[in-house]
Structure 1
Amino acid sequence: MIVEVIKVLLTFGVTTFGSAEESTLLNVIQEGKREHYELGRFTRRRYQDFLPEKYSREDFIVWTTNTDRTYMSASCHLAGLFPPVGEQVWHKDIPWQPIPIFPSELATMNPLFVGCNRYSTLHKKVWSTEEHYVQIDRENQELYEYLTENSGTNITSLFDAFLIFDALHIEDRQKHVLPEWTKAVYPEPLSSLANELVKSFSFTDEQKRLSTGPFLYFVIRQFEAYLADPSSAHKYLQFSAHDFNIASILNTLGAFEPPLVPNFASTIYIELREQNGTNLINVYYKNYDGPEQIIIKGCDFNCNLQDFKSIVDNFAISPEEWYQICETEVTD
């Protein structure tokens, strides 16, 4: 039996290089709205025996990072998740109701580079000193030169190449005809490089701690609070966040091999279940298909809550700890 769910939702996004047509950007945004609306409807069906049909602030709460697209994604998702019913219907032709969306505490679900100089420094250090990424740059110099020559953008790094991949991926999703030169690089090898890029956000243990630690701390405390007093805790909690948040959470849980760029409107469901008097954690990931079961490294799919706490204990840190660590400089 499910007793509480915490969900991380990936926003729809737009990344462009060169001069992008306004119609392309509009189509991406419209497609993203539809995807999140349909994901809301999917989630409603998935949890129809758990979630009340009517929205209630006592049962449900949603947070978002402070970007336009994450607020927009959350709004579209909520339209599918909680359409108005009964006395909540305020207009017969508009199956929508306003639901509050709250800004997330920076440490709990942050856009990584924001608010933590230490993390930013560590990430740059991974790219410049970790042999895995140094070798990727070394082996792809000819590719970078090819991209520079044909894209009109100076490409010198894995991150630069990722931006090209992202732009081509969006154009491809819109069924636009890609330039002839892209056939030599898209989908491969750019797709594989993009997968390596998203893993770099949580490549080391300290990166995992800074990118996911406060969120995991929140998850544990939230489940403990619910078990202590179910009447005072929300049943369903949701974060609207980014691809690197999704990737970093999966990587920290030991479930990101091989790495794969999260698709728009991908989602992690973290469920607390009670089974024969035992509290269990189940994790599901809905990316291109799914949702698929996620096996946490060091645990079974039905992961005992105490085992889950022990596994993530090396990474979970309080927001106060996060801010303190972020203020310290990287000296080695």
Structure 2
Amino acid sequence: MLLLNFFFILLIEFYQSGSVKTVLKHTHIIYRHGDRAPIKLFPTDTNREDKWPNGMSILTNKGIIQQFNLGMWLRRRYNHFLGSHLNYSFIYVRSTDVDRTLMSAESNLAGMFYNVSDEIIKGFKLHPIPIHTESKTSDILLQGDVCPVYKQRLIEVSNKPYFKKKFEPYLNTIEILRKKTGSKLHSFMDVWTIFDPIFCEKSNNISVDDWVTDEIWKNITAINNIIWEAMNYGELPKIVAGFLLKTISENLKNFSETGETQNGFKMVIYSGHDTDIAPLNALFRIFNNLQPPYTACLLIELHYLPSEVEKWAVQVLYKNYTDSSGSTDIPAAIIPGCDQSLCPLNKFLQLTKNNILSQNEYNKICYSSNILFFVQVMFSIVATCLILFIVVMFSIRIFRKPVLHRYSKVESDQNIN
């Protein structure tokens, strides 16, 4: 009986990829949060904070449902892999320390384990799963864009002739936006502060201001697309997602060698942002230069190929749409350098090794120049103070008038009464 159960479990784990039979052994899931309120509003926006009852930048009720549905979509795709009983040592969930991603993780897990048969409290489907997080200032895994150098280099990239030429047709648009929104908009890169609230309003059927015509909105969207291309140009994706790619690569390699990841989990879930998915896609060289939509989901699967010479292969799939009601069969990406979607693990690691970033390398890129600058500034301040001190002391010594001692004649004793 145990032998039959073993073969049954093995059978339901098999996936078909063309004519090659594979067994899914490990997966990473990175998704963007659901629909949210704007990060901030521009000065003249007639739709103020009261339009967003859950709070600014927080998931809307629509976003909560979107994530719940994504969780159910993931359950349908990985039903056999997850099993009918919840195993807490099986799954690891990590979120950025941001309300909308923490709420997304909770909503997603609620959908993923909605029909799990285990009942902790009779009549109540409660399946609390730990969600791990880290402060934004130290989270280089999912918020690598906090790097000060990244922001400097992004400005440099946006000023390249290639992007200046792309922005040029919209010079009139940015002048209109400055006038209509009351925003300074120092550069085209600031247009996202206009795009974001209008997009959120449109997504939630809130009437936008009259000046936002179809033509203006088309131009704002075009500018936003160029911004996302600039954000993922050259070495920028490596700064943002290089450490994330390193973590994923190490987990895949460790599992192929020992049957376990560093922490022993078979499914790792990251609840993050569009700024996690886009640069990771760019490092895989499959980025489409578009902002990932709400609940966009990147799947990185490790498959075992029992009948092949190369026993381990990686498959990358990108769900680049919000609706989660349809089929879970999405096209697998073909990473440049691989002949097919099932990329041999060693080949995958070879193709991506130049894009990974260790923590020390990240710190060196992001903070070494700042530390050097700080030391240089402090040295300059100390040197200046020392020079001023010497000058002042020298001046005192040179210009100080000598004290003249005046002597008065002392009268003789007889004149003293």
Aligned counterpart, 1:227: 256
1:138 aligns with 2:168: yes
Q: 339, 342, 349: which is aligned to 1:309?
A: 349
Deviation at 1:55, TM superposition (A): 2.6
Deviation at 1:303, TM superposition (A): 0.9
Deviation at 1:236, TM superposition (A): 0.5
- 2:238 touches 2:357 (CA, 8 Å); kept in 1? yes
Deviation at 1:229, TM superposition (A): 2.2
Give secondary structure in 2 for the equivalent of 1:314: helix
Aligned length: 325
Aligned counterpart, 2:190: 160
1:23 aligns with 2:51: yes
1:122 aligns with 2:145: no
Deviation at 1:84, TM superposition (A): 6.7
Q: Within 1, Cα distance between the matches of 2:52 and 2:349? A: 45
Comparing 47-56 and 37-46, the one that deviates more = 47-56
- 1:199 touches 1:248 (CA, 8 Å); kept in 2? no
Q: 109, 116, 132: which is aligned to 1:102?
A: 132
Q: Within 1, Cα distance between the matches of 2:54 and 2:143? A: 26
AA matched with 1:293: A
Q: 108, 115, 137: which is aligned to 1:77?
A: 108
- Give the alignment's TM-score, normalised by structure 2: 0.72
Give secondary structure in 2 for the equivalent of 1:55: coil
Which segments of 5 or more consecutive residues in structure 1 lack a partner in the other structure?
none
Deviation at 1:310, TM superposition (A): 1.0
Q: 278, 281, 290: which is aligned to 2:314?
A: 281
Comparing 147-156 and 67-76, the one that deviates more = 147-156
1:203 aligns with 2:226: no
Q: Where do 1:139-288 residues align within 5 Å?
A: 139-204=169-234, 206-230=235-259, 233-257=264-288, 259-275=289-305, 276-277=307-308, 278-288=311-321
CA RMSD of aligned residues (A): 2.3
Q: Within 2, Cα distance between the matches of 1:256 and 1:193? A: 17
Deviation at 1:324, TM superposition (A): 2.4
Quote the sequence identity (%): 23
Once the two structures are superposed, residues 110-162 of structure 1 have per-residue CA deviations (whole angstroms, 9 ceiling, x without a partner) of 151x2x2222221222123x222223343322101111222232334223222
AA matched with 1:119: Y
Give secondary structure in 2 for the equivalent of 1:148: helix
- 1:24 touches 1:171 (CA, 8 Å); kept in 2? no
1:4 aligns with 2:44: no
Over alpha carbons, which structure has the higher Rg?
Answer: 2
Q: 5, 8, 14: which is aligned to 2:37?
A: 14
Comparing 297-306 and 265-274, the one that deviates more = 297-306
Deviation at 1:200, TM superposition (A): 2.1
- Give the alignment's TM-score, normalised by structure 1: 0.90
Aligned counterpart, 2:397: none
- 1:4 touches 1:236 (CA, 8 Å); kept in 2? yes
* Greater RCO (CA < 8 Å, at least 6 residues apart): 1
Q: Within 2, Cα distance between the matches of 1:283 and 1:83? A: 26
Q: Within 2, Cα distance between the matches of 1:170 and 1:111? A: 25
- 2:31 touches 2:295 (CA, 8 Å); kept in 1? yes
Gap change, CA 1:195 and 1:55, over 3 Å in 2: farther
